[in-house]
Structure 1
Amino acid sequence: MNPTTESFPPAASRCDVLVVGAGPAGSACAHLLARAGLSVLLVDQHPPGRDKTCGDGLIPDAHKALARLGLLDAVMRRAQPVAHVGCVGPRGGRIDVPGSLAVLPRRELDALLLQAARDAGARFEQARFEAPLEADGRVVGARLKRGDDIAEVQARWVVLATGAVPKALTAAGMCERHTPSGVALRGYVRAPQMVGRIKALEVVWDKSVRPGYGWIFPAPDGHFNIGVGVTDSHRDLGGGKGRKKDVNLRAIFDAFVANYPPAAELMRVGERIGEGDQWLKGAPLRCTLTGARWTRPGLLVTGEAAGSTYSFTGEGIGKAMETGMLAADAILAHRDDDAAVRAAYEATLTALKPKFDLYERANRVNAHPWLADLLIWRARKSPRLLARMSGVLNETSNPGNLVSLKGLSRLFLE
């Protein structure tokens, strides 16, 4: 038995809320619920401290969510603070967009979020979600598995925060799209000699990485997170099925390194963290609040399982925590009124959906990198446009307007 978990099967087979998935969404949700006095069981198939393929960037929405949880100071004591996002276009043009930013590897961030949820009173079990328990058309708990052991836990509410892999969504009858919205590949490189030379969250658009982008983010202790991402990576074949487009992430990564000199130097002088080719890890992305039903009686879907990642930037940590807390808010506000809980949660996600749609519209930059050149060229000449780009980071500006026909025409007037 893992000493960091409770006994399995659980000593208490009943709770107010069963939260499945101990990533940012699940831990944030469990934290608020437990802090309010509800009995919460938080489960994850992995032990605490598991790794997660991610860019690790904490942009302003993540800072806001961490502040609400009372964890911002603790995270920032361990994170690498960053002052800018460095946007680099295909022709080498660059603009540094200011923002409140940081980098902390997900292994550390998720462990901190989980421990905070446990400190607030949530119990943690290492277990895998197998299927919901149902009675009279309502989810009333779940069947969990660890090793050969099976346990049934009764719960007033089940919250699925199981990330981009659709297995749990499918088992719960909530999956509407089995294929991901996008895919990403990342690795860590230790290169103390590059500290101070790569200082921003560098996001690079180039024909060689089309229809995606590359990144290098400075992490704590002389480490760097380097990777590539491709959104809209699968063709929709209908019925929730899809087929991967002709996208080879490793080839895109190699092209990124070959065509972006700082990436080439980082790989030349740095030490790869991991064994052999396994130092690079891939992961699916679920974006734009699509691909899954959000609720059914007794069950809420949150975080990346609900599609909480922005398609344009691939940023998902802040929105995962935000949607997890929205699920908790709905339960706390209406407790035993099933219809009211579902309506309140769906209303908050519906209110967020237009913002996700705008980031989806802005996603055309990834497919047409010349748009990045145009934005960078104008932003270097226009403080107003730079302020608007900073507003995208802070969620005070409309990202879709930057690359709409109207927005593009305005670039020549600012």
Structure 2
Amino acid sequence: MTPDADLLVIGGGPVGLAVAIEGRLAGLSVIVVEPRSTPVDKACGEGLMPGAVAALGRLGVHPDGHVLSGIRYLRGPRVADHLFATSPGLGVRRTVLHAAIAQRAAELGVVVVPGRGGAVEQDADAVWCAGIRGRWLLACDGLHSTVRRQVDLNVDRRGAGRRFGVRRHFRVEPWTDFVEVHWGRSVEAYVTPVADDVVGVALLGPAHHDYDRTLDSFAALRRHLGGAETLGPARGAGPLHQQTRRRTAGRVRLVGDSSGYVDALTGEGVRVGLAQAHAAVATLDDDVARSNAAYEKAWTAATRDYRVLTAGLLAAASSPLRRGIVPLAAAAPGLYRAVVERLAR
């Protein structure tokens, strides 16, 4: 039986569509299964590191947004700034980013069908899901991936590291071109300018904290926002920490958040997801075992800095060392610069 497509992509968020674009650029036929209409929104910080901007440009995607000059850490009167060394980042509303990637995918002939991933079946030659048969299935269905559970690659971390993110937009002129990270007692506030008159504020921390009350605890941030109008509903995501046994199971590959996630703390999730999308397609080979080994190796290389540095910072943020993170960054600008640039590549 002839497959319906070379690549069956479950999940049409930014990473799923990036996989689809990579497939079409490689000359493969692609079907994406996604239940939501375009544009798809998601709770996230919305700051693209310079490396993510470059990766999108390679795919032919150039979203509108607000130029980001660097990263700023703040805790009370302590401030640590770092300007990106080579090129700027970009603050982009998630809906704008998704619409731009979807437009590029459509230009390249990617087929998107409404539906959800369900049971997964495969043999030596093909894989079935959502009533569609593909040579390969690439699961891009997010933190709580259905496909990941179907192929038994999930690691249950119930009760461990349960941090969540909640994001709102405010109608206010940005007061800086930096992504600001305000460090509170147990919550970080990520502030990202995404347009000339819109700022996104994402709060990352334990479950069940009250958004407005927590925001009020960041006095300087609250003063900047003043009585600014909120735009749309608050959006949440989590728990953020997800682990996987492997990223491959026969002809199934996990890509993006479905392949494992440490935390949004260092803000480079899109860059890492785009790198995984490229690797997932570039390593495809008729020899499934060899191809999967190549993807596992490429996935490890693409995510190593993110996993190591984010895990280390998260461990410090969850310990008595938390209060010293911003003072250390301010007192050791070389170290702070090295970490930011490593993640911004």
Please report the TM-score for the alignment, with normalisation by the length of structure 2. 0.89
Cα separation, partners in 2 of 1:85 and 1:353, compared to 1, 3 Å: closer
Deviation at 1:316, TM superposition (A): 0.9
Q: 2:189 and 2:219 mapped to 1: Cα distance? A: 12
The reply on whether 1:58 has 2:33 as its aligned counterpart is no
In structure 2, relative to structure 1, the CA distance for the partners of 1:88 and 1:342 (3 Å cut) is: same
Aligned equivalent of 1:21, options 11, 16, 27: 11
1:160 CA displacement: 0.2
Shift of 1:314: 4.3
Residue of structure 2 equivalent to 1:205: 183
Counterpart position of 2:79: 94
Kindly indicate whether residue 221 of structure 2 is the aligned counterpart of residue 258 of structure 1.
no
CA distance in 1 between counterparts of 2:120 and 2:125 reads 6
User: Which amino acid in the other structure matches residue 168 of structure 2?
Assistant: G
Q: Which whole-Å CA distance do the structure 2 matches of 1:60 and 1:310 have between them?
A: 19
Aligned to 2:165: 184
Unpaired runs of at least 5, structure 2: none
What is the alpha-carbon distance in structure 2 between the residues aligned to residue 268 and residue 387 of structure 1?
Answer: 31
Q: Following superposition, which runs of at least 4 residues in structure 1 exceed 3 angstroms of deviation?
A: 178-182, 253-256, 285-288, 308-312, 384-387
Structure 2 Cα separation of the partners of residues 106 and 261 of structure 1: 27
In 2, Cα distance between the equivalents of 1:102 and 1:254?
Answer: 26
**Residue 389 (structure 1) shift:** 4.3
Deviation per CA, 1:149-187: give whole Å up to 9, x if none: xxx211110000001123332233332236586310111
* C-alpha displacement of 1:308: 4.6
In structure 2, how many angstroms separate the alpha carbons of the residues matched to 1:188 and 1:267? 10
Paired with 1:394 and 1:36, the residues of 2 have a C-alpha distance of: 26
For residues 249 and 125 of structure 2, the distance between their equivalents in structure 1, rounded to whole angstroms, comes to: 8
Q: Report how many aligned residue pairs link the two structures.
A: 336
1:381-396 pair list within 5 angstroms: 382=333, 384-395=334-345
Structure 1 pair 219–184 and aligned structure 2 pair: CA distance change class (3 A): same
Contact 1:169 1:175 (8 Å CA) reproduced: yes
Q: CA deviation at 1:13?
A: 6.8
Q: Percent identity?
A: 22
2:315 to 350, 356, 364: 364
Q: Is the 8 Å Cα contact of residues 216 and 225 (structure 1) preserved in structure 2?
A: yes
Counterpart for residue 271 of structure 1: 229
Instruction: For 1:338, give the aligned amino acid.
Output: V
Distance in structure 1 (CA, Å) of the matches to 2:288 and 2:66: 42
Which deviates further from its counterpart, 26-35 or 154-163? 26-35
Partners of 1:178 and 1:113 lie apart in 2 by: 32
Corresponding position of 1:222:
197
Partners of 1:314 and 1:281 in 2: how far apart?
A: 17
1:226-241 correspondence to structure 2 within 5 Å? 226-230=201-205
Once the two structures are TM-superposed, the CA of residue 30 in structure 1 deviates from its matched residue by: 0.9
Alignment counterpart, residue 284 of structure 1, candidates 238, 241, 246: 238
2:148 to 145, 150, 169: 169
Aligned to 2:29: 39
Q: Paired residue for 1:119, among 78, 98, 107?
A: 107
Root mean square deviation, CA, Å: 2.4
Distance 2:302 2:250 in 1: 22
TM-score by length of 1: 0.75
| Contact 1:286 1:307 survives alignment (8 Å) | no
Q: CA deviation at 1:374?
A: 2.6
What residue is the counterpart of 2:246 in the other structure?
293
Q: Which amino acid aligns with 2:20?
A: A
- Residue 97 and residue 330 in structure 1: after superposition, are their counterparts in 2 closer, same or farther (change >3 A)? same
CA shift in 2, pair 1:92/1:256, >3 Å: farther
Q: Distance in 2 between matches of 1:143 and 1:387?
A: 45
* Higher RCO (C-alpha 8 Å, min separation 6): 2
SS of 1:321's equivalent? helix
How far, CA to CA, are the matches of 1:184 and 1:262 in structure 2?
A: 21
Cα displacement string for residues 346-380 of structure 1 (whole angstroms, at most 9, x for unaligned residues)? 1112234542123201223422322223323304x
Classify 1:393/1:157 alpha carbon distance in 2 versus 1 (closer, same or farther; 3 Å). Answer: closer
Deviation digits for residues 175-210 of structure 1 (CA, Å, limit 9, x no counterpart)? 223658631011111124xx3x24321101122xx1
Answer yes or no: is 1:316 the counterpart of 2:269. yes
CA apart distance, 1:106: 0.9
Shift of 1:285: 5.2
Q: Indicate how the Cα distance of structure 1 residues 43 and 292 shifts in structure 2: closer, same or farther if over 3 A, else same.
A: farther
Residues 118, 296 of structure 1: alpha-carbon distance in 2 compared, 3 angstrom cutoff: same
SS state of the match for residue 112, structure 2? strand
